[in-house]
Amino acid sequence: MLSAVASPASFLALASASRRQPRVSTAPPLHAGANRCLALHHWPPPQRTARDGAVVRAEAGAAGKKDARGDDAAPAAARQPRLRRGGAAGKVAKRRDPAVRPVDRYGSGDAAGTAHQSPPTPRQDAPQPRVPILNGVLVSGEDKSIVTAPPTKIVKVPTPDSGAILTARNKAAESIVLVKKTPPPSGSNFASSVSAPRSNTASNVELVEKKGAEIAKEAPKPKSSVSAPRSDIVGHVEPAEKKGADIVKEASKLKTPVTAPRSDTVNNLEPAEKKGADIVKEAPKPKTLPPPAAPTVQEAAWDFKKYIGFEESAEVKDNGLAAADGAGSFEDHQNNHSGPLAGENVMNVIVVAAECSPWCKTGGLGDVAGALPKALARRGHRVMVVVPRYGDYQEAYDLGIRKYYKAAGQDLEVNYFHAYIDGVDFVFIDAPLFRHRQGDIYGGSRQEIMKRMILFCKAAVEVPWHVPCGGVPYGDGNLVFIANDWHTALLPVYLKAYYRDHGLMQYTRSVLVIHNIAHQGRGPVDEFPFTDLPEHYLEHFKLYDPVGGEHANYFAAGLKMADQVVAVSRGYLWELKTVEGGWGLHDIIRQNDWKINGIVNGIDNKEWNPEVDVHLQSDGYTNYSLRTLDAGKRQCKASLQRELGLQVRDDVPLIGFIGRLDGQKGVEIIGDAMPWIVSQDVQLVMLGTGRSDLEQMLQHFEWQHKDKVRGWVGFSVPMAHRITAGVDVLVMPSRFEPCGLNQLYAMAYGTVPVVHAVGGLRDTVSPFDPFGDSGLGWTFDRAEAHKLIEALGHCLDTYRNYRESWRGLQQRGMSQDFSWDHAAQLYEDVLVKAKYQW
Ligand SMILES: Nc1ncnc2c1ncn2[C@@H]1O[C@H](COP(=O)(O)OP(=O)(O)O[C@H]2O[C@H](CO)[C@@H](O)[C@H](O)[C@H]2O)[C@@H](O)[C@H]1O
């Protein structure tokens, strides 16, 4: 008997148990038909390859070598290798190169087993030796006394009036130049960022000024041309430029690290404008340099709708759909004289992620990085997304800025590309390491992907200084970074170790979002020096794993260093604190509980909306709304059946599955339930890519049940949209699901979800109650085939025999507000908490 609500503990314990056990292919279906015993052992058994990116014994040593402990000691789900997947939205061809073992989607790997010893207590508050690091250059011990002094360097401007602050390289005479503020070009988001009251601006400025005045009184006059008292400019040193001794020598002449009003007060902040102007007046005139490829702002001409290939229909416009996602368009806000929704909480926000839709997406992280920033911008924040440039993205142009950063012992050049879309600055970090990875963004060995992420985080943390979006860099005051998953967990660490520990970037905060803690960025302790962090930071990384032993863990360090943390649902946050759900980091999560927030993702109302969905505008599909649900869905269903070569029948329930093919998504549970499924009068379509054994399973089922089953192996955004619209039921038997987006998309499209009640699935799909006529779908409390079958059985019964109840389910699902605007408001609360946190 299905119990609609079970305790989370039981979900987890059971999910975890099933993770540990081999798949049982003989789970007795409740409504088994004649061919219930259809053998599942036809398809190849899961390969027992080493888990990608797993904990690597220190002694495994040699570069490129994977987990030396083998798979047998790890839990089953954890053991399953997660193959890399293609990336480009909608057109990513899968590549498999047998010569290079894929690492996995998240590169460096699944966390280890279920039994964990307590990780070391976080010690970020412990007194630490103040080893000065100036842009990653360690200053020797005897120079410690000057640690707090700002390095005097090195700013040149691209053009005198561009407002950009760029550091010069290979330039003999370096000087600091205060850059005059220029009015933002039309179309830039500068207006939004400066027009809003900046609550901490005033207070920060006062604070800094007061402090500055006091210190300045005591401080000897700097000898260099540091006439512009701008701490962030002063504080910035080109890493590869003048190292160690030089910097120390220069810096020792100054004792005014934070005396100055900060660049952001000059560049970004309205209340500080006057002061900024005064400072500018006093500042020496910028040298006239030959103009480099200056950032001309072309963003205004960029049309997102054109880019994604649709124009809203007149009907949609009339219905005020644009406003349906809450805050209205960015333009609306610009014209809205009542000020930004965020009010005095307006901030500069930089979202840093390894993928971002529509440029590069392998899963939900890409969706979030593409949509959350726009929602934050609609609230009035000045928002930037920083993402690697894996391919040649047409809408982004080269800013002509070159920087060098050290990663894994190598000096690597990065360039910055920029686009301004929907009120958001998108900055693409270009480097040879990222180029040509579009179809394989998490590919390569563990060391390779870790090196990419080290470089990415180092470059990203300095973007607010170097990249003049709309002519004006963000600056480091009133600034918060939102890092995502292990790939960017190093960002909060670099922010602290390189800057905040040394009195720089004092008004910058970091938030780390946990989308999936099963991937943590683990490596042997002896690879820690690759990160280029001070030695004493190692303690924040070290984690003991009973299976893999001691290792260095990026996610662990990021969780400790971030000012605030977000888990992508409240249910997931609860699970993270359990042994089964924390994947070895549960103790760290518990210890940092005070700063962890659970926020369910939203959905992009332009991208995932049946009324305007561009993928429903051809091949017989159609857009539809709640009003036209019956006809619209019928048409989409028929088109999907036709496109997939299934019999076109409206009366047969069409079931769908979309997802990465790995242990998390529970696709093998569908496999276990297959004998029962094909015994019913149903059709089933599954779309996914990932583990090769699971891909083969999909293909095998299609081959075996041609009349009923389709297994589409690949990554196809259009097909994901069409399946979401065309099917009646979406199954998600995920073993764990931090949030889950597909069930949200399904409900928005009038498709009824049947889900394993874990994490975000449990939070977002309330179980159907036929008596109260409430609920949004069916849930089952254990990731097991017979539980799925039971829930699916009830679902199909309702579909066939209780059409009114079915219609009610669809209507309730479509009427939910899943917009990002609500989630963005909750994120804003977290950003504000971080901002006032010291
Ligand atoms: N073969 C395919 N072809 C086309 N599109 C495909 C596809 N396979 C998956 N997708 C798309 O990728 C996205 C996957 O979303 P999920 O929420 O399942 O994310 P994922 O588990 O990757 O991410 C993690 O992060 C997200 C975001 O926080 C959490 O919701 C989630 O629980 C967590 O595991 C959806 O947009 C889906 O349509």
Q: What would the pLDDT profile of 85-119 be if each residue is shown by its tens digit?
A: 333 333 333 333 333 233 343 333 444 333 333 33
Interval between CA 364 and ligand 1 midpoint (Å): 4
Please state whether beta strands 522-523 and 549-553 pair in parallel, antiparallel, or not at all (unpaired): antiparallel
Q: How far apart are CA 284 and CA 276, in angstroms?
A: 14
Q: Which residues contact 165 (CB under 8 A, 6 or more apart)?
A: 155, 157, 179, 233, 263, 465, 466, 468, 473
Burial 409-422 (b: 16+ CB within 10 A, else e): eeebebbbbbbbbb
**Which of 791, 799, 788, 753 shows the shortest CA–CA distance to 674?**
788
Kindly give the distance from the C-alpha atom of residue 623 to the centroid of ligand 1, in angstroms, as a whole number. 23
Candidate of 360, 488, 658 to mutate for ligand 1, largest count of ligand atoms within 8 Å of Cβ: 658
How many Å apart are CA 657 and CA 732, to the nearest integer? 7
Q: Closest residue (by CA) to atom 22 of ligand 1? A: 363
Cβ of 764 closer than 6 Å to ligand 1, yes or no, is no
* pTM attached to this predicted model: 0.67
Q: With CA atoms as reference, report the closest residue to 575 among 82, 10, 110.
A: 10
The predicted structure's pLDDT at residue 340: 76
Domains in the chain, start-ordered, CATH in brackets?
A: 8-282 (no CATH), 304-336 (no CATH), 343-598 (3.40.50.2000), 614-818 (3.40.50.2000)
Token pair 């412990």 is found at 126
DSSP state of 496: I
Of all protein residues, the one whose alpha carbon is nearest to atom 18 of ligand 1 is: 740
Residue 532 backbone zone (phi > 0: left; psi -120 to 50: alpha; other: beta): left
For 535, residues 6+ apart whose C-beta sits below 8 A from its C-beta are none
Verify whether ligand 1 is closer than 6 Å to residue 831 (CB atom).
no
136 lines ligand 1 (CB under 6 A): no
Distances 183 to 186, 273, 414 between C-alpha atoms, Å: 9, 12, 28
Nearest to 831 by CA among 356, 485, 342: 342
Q: Give the residue whose CA is nearest to atom 11 of ligand 1.
A: 363
Pairing of strands 709-713, 683-690: parallel
**660 C-alpha to ligand 1 centroid (Å):** 7
**CA distance linking residue 520 with residue 553, whole number of Å:** 6
Which ligand 1 atom minimizes the distance to the CA of 357?
Answer: 36
- Weakly modelled stretches of the chain, pLDDT under 50: 1-336
Instruction: Report the alpha-carbon distance of residue 641 to residue 685 in Å, rounded.
Output: 9
Q: Residue 113 is encoded by which pair of tokens?
A: 């087993």
Kindly report the CA angle at 368 between 363 and 374, in degrees rounded to 5?
A: 145
Tokens of 579: 């042994």
**CA nearest to 391, candidates 412, 361, 353:** 361
C-alpha 565/C-alpha 561 separation (Å) is 10
Ligand 1 within 6 A of CB of 382: no
The residues facing 779 across adjacent strands are: 755
> What would the DSSP string read from start to end of 351-387?
EE-S-BTTTB-SSHHHHHHHHHHHHHHHTT-EEEEEE
C-alpha 323/C-alpha 817 separation (Å) is 13
List pLDDT tens digits, range 685-697. Answer: 999 999 999 999 9
DSSP state letter for 138:
E
Which tokens sit at 337?
């004289």
Rounded CA gap, 263 and 818, in Å? 38
User: Omega of the bond prior to 160 within 30 degrees of 0, cis?
Assistant: no
Backbone φ, ψ for residue 123 (5° rounding): -130, 40
Q: Is the CB of 720 under 6 A from ligand 1?
A: yes
Q: Report how far ligand 1's centroid is from the alpha carbon of 799 (Å).
A: 27
Cβ of residue 760 lying under 6 Å from some atom of ligand 1: yes
Per-residue pLDDT, 523:
94
Bridge-based pairing state of the strands 397-407 and 382-388: unpaired
- Index of the ligand 1 atom closest to the CA of residue 717: 4
pLDDT of residue 665: 97
Token pair for residue 227?
Answer: 């006439």
For residue 211, what are the contacts with CB-CB under 8 A and spacing of at least 6? 258, 259
Reduce the DSSP state of residue 287 to 3 states and report it.
coil
Nearest to 448 by CA among 70, 94, 103, 49: 103
Q: Cβ(418) to ligand 1 under 6 A?
A: no
Who contacts 79 (Cβ-Cβ below 8 Å, separation ≥6)?
48, 51, 71, 72
Structure tokens at 827: 């994120």
Tell me the pLDDT tens digit for each residue of 13-42: 333 333 333 333 323 333 333 333 333 333
Our CA angle for 158, 160, 163, nearest 5°, is 75
In short, whether 791's Cβ falls inside 6 Å of ligand 1 is: no
The answer to whether the CB of 253 falls within 8 A of the CB of 223 is yes
> What is residue 338's predicted lDDT score, i.e. its pLDDT?
62
Among 501, 416, 465, smallest CA distance to 262 is for 465
